[in-house]
Structure 1
Amino acid sequence: MPSIELLGAYLVAIFLLTISPGVDTLLTIRNTARSGVRSGVVTSVGICSGLFIHAGLSAVGISLILVQTAWAFSVLKWAGACYLVWLGLNSLRQACVRPAVGVASQPPQPQHSRFARDFREGVLSNVLNPKTALFYMALLPQFIDPQGSVLLQSMLLAAIHFVMGLVWLSGVAVVVARSRGLASPGWLKRMMHGLTGGVFIGVGAKVALSQA
């Protein structure tokens, strides 16, 4: 198990990482604005669940292999970039849709189907983020006792990150949901979709063109 000193240092590092705005925050905001606070929380659960995948890969050394193997890391980078651009285009499409006056709205998507979509988007957003893989490959070994079980310690640290990230992103979802009620839901949703869509595409392009 990590020492108290190592665990304290990890808490500080992971807290700063958690509160730094990024793709995970944008996705939570977008899905909350689209379908409400429950969708935002489910998205948060999906995002944070992806941390265990990164922790497991880091523990068995696959993350190191991905970083040291140029073509494998390029595949991961381009997959993540394409997914971000796809999310952005989907958001922009929804921003351009105006509800027709006098036309009955389409029946809402079943709740379980909507939540499955939100969870899936959260997991993919995290797993396909090469920066998260790099972070776990570089950071986790610094806080692990080599005399103990590397996999067990990695999962423990990921669980701490899971709880901290879930609390933070769920809080973001609650704030967005309450703010949404202060104005007309229609124009606010379109504005949020347009803003997050443009940012998703920009981040995806940056990831694709980055050399690291």
Structure 2
Amino acid sequence: MHSFSWPTYGAFAAFALLLVIAPGPDFAVVVKNALVGGRRYGRWTSVGVTASNAVQGTAAALGVGALIVASQPLFEAVRWAGVVYLCWLGVQALRSAWRGPAAVPEDGEPVGDVASRWVRWRQGFLSNITNPKVLVFYLSVLPQFLQPGSSVVHGLALAYTHAAMSLAWLFLLVATLHTLRAWLARRRVRRSLDTLTGVALFGFAGRLATDSH
């Protein structure tokens, strides 16, 4: 087994960073929930996204992901589940824009109970786990940064690095939205952002529906 290559790891980290900061469905879902419930909801959604990244990265490293991608019916079922779920979230965002934002405390942090946190975590997790393109990413990209004879541990290290970078980026996004909470609390601004988020979610759903692996 070859030793771990730090230069290769650095190249992967740089590549992963570019992918992480590119807006996608996860970005839109985190923004939607952060607008609704401030940092707490945004962070729980981010943790859900990261948990899904870890699950899909583990599946790819262990070889399970390849079986899912190779099974056309299963792959299509996951893909269309993702399309439907993103559309549902898009409808929620547009409904919020139509009705106007609900009032939140001045600090932007709703009281929230365990159930509400679970809902936000679940939305982040499902928006990612039902996107088979994430799994395809791990299966197609990770091998390019692994040396011949690399162990499963090396593959997991790359997958978890991507997940950790995603969490850091989403937490930064949530913190930025919290900093702008006074401006975002304006009714017109919130309704505009909810509309844009809803349209973006429908756009991501459409792209997922038309893409083929």
CA contact (8 A) 1:57 1:63 kept: yes
CA contact (8 A) 2:53 2:163 kept: yes
CA contact (8 A) 1:2 1:143 kept: no
| Aligned partner (choices 116, 120, 123) of residue 121 of structure 1 | 123
TM value normalised by structure 2: 0.86
SS in 2 for 1:87: helix
Q: CA deviation at 1:149?
A: 2.9
SS in 2 for 1:54: helix
AA in 1 matched with 2:87: V
AA in 2 matched with 1:57: A
CA contact (8 A) 2:183 2:189 kept: no
Distance 2:76 2:4 in 1: 33
Question: Which residue of structure 1 aligns with residue 75 of structure 2?
Answer: 73
Q: CA deviation at 1:62?
A: 2.5
CA contact (8 A) 1:180 1:188 kept: no
Moved more, 139-148 or 43-52: 139-148
CA contact (8 A) 1:43 1:122 kept: yes
SS in 2 for 1:110: coil
Q: Deviations over 1:151-201 (max 9, x none)?
A: x22332222222211111111111122223125443333222211111111
2:160 matched to 1:159?
Answer: yes
AA in 2 matched with 1:202: G
Distance 2:81 2:148 in 1: 33
Question: Which residue of structure 2 aligns with residue 9 of structure 1?
Answer: 11
AA in 2 matched with 1:22: G
Q: Deviations over 1:51-78 (max 9, x none)?
A: 1111121123232223222222211211
Question: Which residue of structure 1 aligns with residue 27 of structure 2?
Answer: 25
SS in 1 for 2:4: coil
Q: Deviations over 1:73-120 (max 9, x none)?
A: 2112111111111110111112111479xxxxxxx7733222111111
Distance 1:90 1:51 in 2: 24
CA contact (8 A) 1:7 1:143 kept: yes
- 1:31-70 maps to which residues of 2 (within 5 A)? 31-70=33-72
Distance 1:190 1:122 in 2: 22
Distance 2:112 2:40 in 1: 13
- Runs of 4+ in structure 1 displaced over 4 angstroms? none
AA in 2 matched with 1:77: R
SS in 1 for 2:180: helix
CA contact (8 A) 1:23 1:200 kept: yes
Question: Which residue of structure 2 aligns with residue 130 of structure 1?
Answer: 132
Give the % identical residues: 32
Q: Deviations over 1:22-66 (max 9, x none)?
A: 111111111111110121122111111111111121123232223
AA in 1 matched with 2:118: A
CA contact (8 A) 2:83 2:206 kept: yes
Unaligned runs of at least 5 residues, structure 1: 101-107
2:193 matched to 1:192?
Answer: yes
Q: Deviations over 1:131-162 (max 9, x none)?
A: 11110011112223453431x22332222222
Unaligned runs of at least 5 residues, structure 2: 103-109
Question: Which residue of structure 2 aligns with residue 171 of structure 1?
Answer: 172
Counting matched residue pairs gives 204
Instruction: Name the CA shift for 1:117/1:70 in 2 (closer, same or farther; >3 Å).
Output: same
